[in-house]
Amino acid sequence: MGAMGVISAVSGDFKNRDRLMELGFTKDAEVMALHKSPAGDPVAYFIKGSVMALRKEDADNIFIKFREEY
């Protein structure tokens, strides 16, 4: 939690990939993991001035480069 990174790619089938991109999870967008729910899933992310919660199965389709990697 608290790690900042940049989205390098978004994968998945058309429906799920398009939904993620409409929410702001697009290539080169900065994203930060904020909070995990008590059960660990979903996780809240700060992206483009908003907070979005994603389930692990959706977040697994988003590939991140962390600060030290770029």
DSSP classification of residue 42:
S
Torsion of CA 23, 30, 40, 38, to 10 degrees: -90
pLDDT of residue 49: 92
Instruction: State the pTM of this model.
Output: 0.80
* Position 69 pLDDT exceeds 60: no
pLDDT at 70 over 70: no
pLDDT, tens only, 3-12: 899 999 998 8
Residues 10-48 have pLDDT tens digits of 988 888 899 999 888 999 999 999 999 999 899 999 999
Burial class (CB in 10 A: 0-12, 13-18, 19+), 25: buried
